Each structure stands twice: as C-alpha cells, then as structure tokens.
Amino acid sequence: MAVQQDVIVIGGGTIGLSAAYHASCRRDTQGKNYSVTLVDQYDLDNGNNSSKGYERMYRVLYAPKERARLVESAYAMWHEMESYTGNQILAEHPMLFFGFPNSGTFEGKLQDIADTMDNLGIPYDRLNSPNEISNAFPMFNPDGMPPNYVGLRQNMGATILVQPSFKAFEGLARDNGVNFITNSKAMSIKPGAGGPPYTVTLDDGTQIEAQFLILAPGIWLNDTLKYFGLQAASSWSIRTMTLGYYNTAPTYRNALPVWYEFGSADNGLYYGFQPTGQGPSNVVSQYPYAVKVSADFTHNTTNNVATALMTPPNQDILNAITQRLGSLFQPNTFSSDIALAGSEDACNYSMNGDGDMVLGRIPMGPGSTSYWKNASLFCMASGRGFKFTPLWGRVLTDLAIDGVTSYQNDIEPFSPSRKDVFQNA
C-alpha cells in the first residue's frame, strides 16, 4: 500500500531542498501543514550534483530586466534565510564585470547590462578603460587588458556560501517535518489521468502517492521526464567546467571583488571570488585565504550522464586559467603560480540549447501549452540557478499547488514550453 503524502519532491540539490522547505510551509484547507517527502538517489551532501562545491556568485548585473528583478527578490529572501537560521549565507562585497562592451555571452553583453541597470534605476559605476578598472581595483593590471575593455562596478554583489545555504534549507525543512529519503532512486513515476495522484516507486519497492509533484532532477532529467513522454531535446548537453583554488598574497586579498571577465566568447570567459575561508578542507586548512577561479568555457561536452560524471578537470583549461591570472593581475596578488594541489575540480552544467534555465509546469508534450496538473519542474540550470535558490523553491511550490505564481510574467523566458527544450521520449 502506498505511503500517502501531500507533496513529493524528486531531487535533493539546492533547488529541491528549497522547494521542499517552501512546500512544507503551505497549509491545507484545515490549516494543517502539507506533508512533504524529498527523494534523492544520493546523500544530500554528495559530489555528483551541480549544487556541489563551496561558492556561488550572487549579482544583480543582468541584461534581461525580468532577471534583474527576480534576483533582487532572491536577495531579500537570502537575507530572510540568514535571519531565520542566524548563520551567514551571503559574504557581501563589490562585484566587477569587465571586458569587451559587446562581447556576447550567456551573461548578456556589458552594454546591455548597463542599459538595464539604468532603466531599473539600480546604481553602479561605469569604468571606461583598463586604467579606470585598475584605479577602482588596484590588483588588476591594466597592461593585461585590451585597450577597449570597460567595467561595471556594483556594490550589490556577494559570494553565496554553498554549504551554509544547504544546511539552512535542510534544517528548516526538517524542522517543518519534511521526510528525507536519500540513497534511493525513483524507479518510476506514474501520473493519474492528466495529473494527480502521482505514484512514485523507489528502488526498494516503496510507493509514495502524492497530490503534488515537484521535479528538480539536475543532469538526470531524462530519468524523470520519460514518465511524462518527454526527454531533453537534441540540443541539450552537459558541460564539464574546470576550476581551481589559488592562494592570495596579503597585499590585495581583502580588497578583491567578485569578478567576471567578458573576453572572447569561445575561450576568454573567467571569473573568481574573494577569500571567504570556504573551499576543500585539505586546501583551506593550509591556505585559508585561497580563492576559487574558474573558466566559463569548456572542452568537454556530452549528453551522457555517466560520461560527464567520470570527466576530470581539464588540464589545458587549468593551464589557461593560470596563464590568464598571471597577465590579468598584478604580480603580488597571488602567492601561488598554479592551482593549489588537490583543489582542482570539475562541475557539470546541464545546458539547454539556448543556454537558459527551464522553470515551469510540466508540458503535456514538446512545445505544448497544456500541462500536467499539480506538477512543476526545474532543470537545465546552466550553472546559473543557485543565486535564485530561495525564490525558485517558492515558485515551484506555487506552480505545483496553485498552478500559477505571482512571478509568472518574469519567469516566462524560462518556460518549459518554449521551442527546442523537449522532444518526445
């Protein structure tokens, strides 16, 4: 006999945890909190999902207006989480975007971002040359930049501390009575006629029946979508990104911003963080001021999950990161010439063909605007979903339980019904 729950969440990454927490805050018509179960095939703290690691970038610098509005809402919600738990989640410091003004990237173009900030009245400083960038942030070497580089400096930047944020959402969800089933895979999802009840069968034979379903499956999206007759379109891919930690020298370590370089779109996109004391334990125990630096391009792309999970950090990209740091920064910024031993890592991004996230109700077919009732989905986060974590959890809950969210207009660009997101399974 199936275990009865109000809500079941598949996927225990950051978005799934947030959704489980928000769903557990909802109440039925009798005023009773919804019963919620979250299922993940691994432990919550595992090295396989895209939510792993220690730092993520928070910033309001976006070219699409709706995205800037959404991330401002997420910013307030991050601070609510800090207030609820009494723990720091955002390490706030200035943000620097810099590079070619019209370099096209998944992040948008610098000029378009500046136009959006102007339109929304969000303050920032424009830096019109490499010398102005270096004057604002003296650790950057103006001679290491092309002469037409410009920059945007914005004070509403932060490093999201991944592990404290995980603990916050997990702790609040447990306090609300969420049932966690880990190291157990959902072997089947059986919808009712057009929707609920949804019966999920686990690998040990346990069945859970719920009126509301939330999917946050990460790179395993096809394992869940097939039960709805869908799979990712052929343009979907998993991109294995490479990163390392570099030790900072005392001169500039306290003044480093969170930064992103808009160089050439194919191999000139890099980003880094300020020291936060976060990182692999074997690294930060010896180098507490080490910082994560990553390339935002890859040489390793696949649509096979097993292949992605086995792909190591790319040594050519690690060499490129080291070379770029050597020219982009003043000589006394870093005390390590190469990535610290044991800090090299890879992270898998689930990417839709257009490079954007997928968030909404589950369509009845590819491109369909008819949807499965009481079910919502987040996938293909494209390495850009973490900053929205508290907001996306609320939105997924809204969509599953109410069928609509107050953020409906602003999330429309992420619609699962848009072209070339899914194909028939």
The pLDDT of residue 249 is above 90: yes
What does the mean pLDDT of the chain come to? Answer: 94
In a domain, 88, yes or no: no
In a domain, 288, yes or no: yes
Reduce the DSSP state of residue 185 to 3 states and report it. coil
Tens digit of each residue's pLDDT (9 = 90 or more) over 25-80: 999 888 899 999 999 999 988 877 777 889 999 999 999 999 999 999 999 999 99
Tens digit of each residue's pLDDT (9 = 90 or more) over 299-324: 999 999 999 999 999 999 999 999 99
Residues 175 and 255 in one domain: no
Give the pairing of strands 157-161 and 90-92: antiparallel
Read off the pTM. Answer: 0.96
Residues 275 and 248: beta-carbon distance below 8 Å:
yes
User: Which of 351, 366, 400 represents a domain boundary (last residue)?
Assistant: 351
Residue 382: pLDDT band with limits 50, 70, 90: confident
In a domain, 386, yes or no: yes
User: Which of 333, 351, 369 represents a domain boundary (last residue)?
Assistant: 351
Range of the domain at 11: 3-50+164-232+355-424
Reduce the DSSP state of residue 372 to 3 states and report it. strand
Say how far apart CA 35 and CA 27 lie, in whole Å. 9
Residue 219, domain CATH: 3.50.50.60
Residues 281 and 179 in one domain: no
In a domain, 19, yes or no: yes
Say how far apart CA 105 and CA 12 lie, in whole Å. 29
The size of the chain, in residues, is: 425
Residues 247 and 137 in one domain: yes
Residue 46 confidence (pLDDT): 80
Residues 177 and 258 in one domain: no
Residues 137 and 245 in one domain: yes
Per-residue pLDDT, averaged over 284-295, amounts to 95
Residues 332 and 401 in one domain: no
The pLDDT of residue 193 is above 90: no
Residues 309 and 383 in one domain: no
Structure tokens at 91: 């390490």
The pLDDT of residue 107 is above 80: no
Long-range contacts of 200-208 (CB under 8 A, 24+ apart): 200/8, 200/10, 200/39, 202/39, 206/3, 206/181, 207/1, 207/2, 207/3, 208/2, 208/3, 208/5, 208/8, 208/37, 208/39
In a domain, 58, yes or no: no
User: Which of 306, 321, 351 represents a domain boundary (last residue)?
Assistant: 351
In a domain, 90, yes or no: no
Residue 276 confidence (pLDDT): 94
Residue 339, domain CATH: 3.30.9.10
| HSE-up (13 A, CA, CB side) for residue 291 | 28
What's phi and psi for 81, nearest 5 deg?
-60, -40
Of 105-109, 289-293, 404-408, the one with minimum mean pLDDT is 105-109
Residues 35 and 176 in one domain: yes
Residues 136 and 267 in one domain: yes
**C-beta neighbour count of 69 within 10 angstroms:** 17
Angle between helices 65-85 and 110-120 in degrees, nearest 10: 70
In a domain, 78, yes or no: no
Residues 177 and 35: beta-carbon distance below 8 Å:
yes
pLDDT above 70 covers a percentage of the chain that reads: 100
Per-residue pLDDT, averaged over 314-335, amounts to 95
- Listed residue (70, 83, 9) closest to 44, CA to CA: 9
Q: What's the number of domains the chain is made of?
A: 2
Residue 66 confidence (pLDDT): 95
Per-residue pLDDT, averaged over 263-267, amounts to 82
User: What single-letter amino acid sits at 14?
Assistant: T
Dihedral of alpha carbons 217, 222, 227, 230, sign: positive
Per-residue pLDDT, averaged over 333-349, amounts to 90
In a domain, 59, yes or no: no
Residues 178 and 150 in one domain: no
Residues 142 and 244 in one domain: yes
Residues 263 and 204 in one domain: no
